[in-house]
Structure 1
């Protein structure tokens, strides 16, 4: 899990990267929660999901947005952080030019940034959005959503009401050839206290299912 330094739009971005042992492995980019509320790449959820994708054989990268840890710059209300994510994805693809697929995984604020990145980067084949803050940030840019993916939410989340996430998922699922799977974890709050293992297991199952069905989807011409 070597430390890496990425040239970001505002200077250095601090990251951790694990390169897959198998050649031409898929890649995964993981995005942390809000920088102004203690979010870092070492967030427990981000770290555990990072490890899950490493175990699945992905070349995986997590990093600190500008102004967090040793990353340079200052918080930029999401605009700069989106540019940071794009720079991190560029770095990841430079080291994995033959990756067959690319996934973006974000938690809370990171989910909002990750879903914006979907709109910029057509090579992203799948996403995992954990507790997307659909009541706090504007998700109307997903028109249409370019990739299928997974949304996870805790039914005891008091920061992001369940109905806001359900409304977002229903909107995205109304689009042709796109399947957005919404999974609710019973008894989980916004930070998945005592439920992180259950979250990771759920994401593991979803990723395994998508990898298994990828050849059939490719033959059908869908994502």
Structure 2
């Protein structure tokens, strides 16, 4: 997983990038938890989601938001972090100009940024969100949500109880043919301590089901 340094809106951004398989692999971007509470691209859930996409042949990146690790800048209440994520996706598309489609994944704070990004980028056809903090952030911008995705939550999450996030998912309108699903991992906490395998299994099962609906020539054609 080679290290990459690329130009961000407020200076360099540090990431890890793995080129996908084949001539025109799809692209996946993975976003980490809150920068002010220890979130980095090396967060375990972020790392495991990254590896999941790599195993399936995606060109995959995870990176540190501004002010984290070797990334320059300072925390910017989510606005700057969204700009960082958009720049990271731009960078990946520059080096994968023929990618047939893109996915985005995020954990906790990163899932909030991921969902904002997919509203702005029609090439994102699917998303995975872990421990989405619907009690801390406004998700009303999903109006309607243009991509199908899966929101995974721990049953014993004390930072954001699952009922809060389930309610957000149920209130989310989607474009025709799109669906946002919600899945609870029994006994898991916010960070899926001791339940990371169950978290990744849920993500893998959903991703594999979605990828089964990809045309042989690589053109995405709808939802299962």
Task: Give the TM bin, normalised by the shorter chain.
Answer: over 0.9
- Using the size of structure 1 for normalisation, the TM-score is 0.95
The superposition leaves residues 111-164 of structure 1 with CA deviations (integer Å, 9 ceiling, x where unpaired) of 000000011111111000111110000111111111000100011001011111
The ranges of structure 1 where at least 4 consecutive aligned residues each deviate by more than 2 angstroms after the TM superposition are: 172-176, 214-219
The residue that corresponds to 2:90 in the other structure is 90
Asked if the contact 2:146–2:175 (Cα under 8 Å) also holds between the matched residues in 1, the reply is no
1:80-119 alignment runs, 5 A limit: 80-119=80-119
Asked if the contact 2:210–2:223 (Cα under 8 Å) also holds between the matched residues in 1, the reply is no
Matching of residue 198 in structure 1 with residue 198 in structure 2: yes
CA distance in 1, matches of 2:44, 2:220: 34
Deviation, 1:173, is 5.3
CA distance in 1, matches of 2:21, 2:223: 28
Asked if the contact 1:172–1:178 (Cα under 8 Å) also holds between the matched residues in 2, the reply is no
- Using the size of structure 2 for normalisation, the TM-score is 0.95
SS across alignment from 1:111: helix
Structure 1 unaligned segments of length 5 or more: list them. Answer: none
CA distance in 2, matches of 1:170, 1:110: 20
Q: Larger % of helix: which?
A: 1
Aligned residues: 222
Deviation, 1:174, is 5.9
The residue that corresponds to 1:180 in the other structure is 180
SS across alignment from 1:16: strand
CA distance in 1, matches of 2:175, 2:159: 27
The residue that corresponds to 1:46 in the other structure is 46
CA distance in 2, matches of 1:205, 1:44: 19
Change (3 A) 1:175 1:166: farther
CA distance in 1, matches of 2:223, 2:198: 29
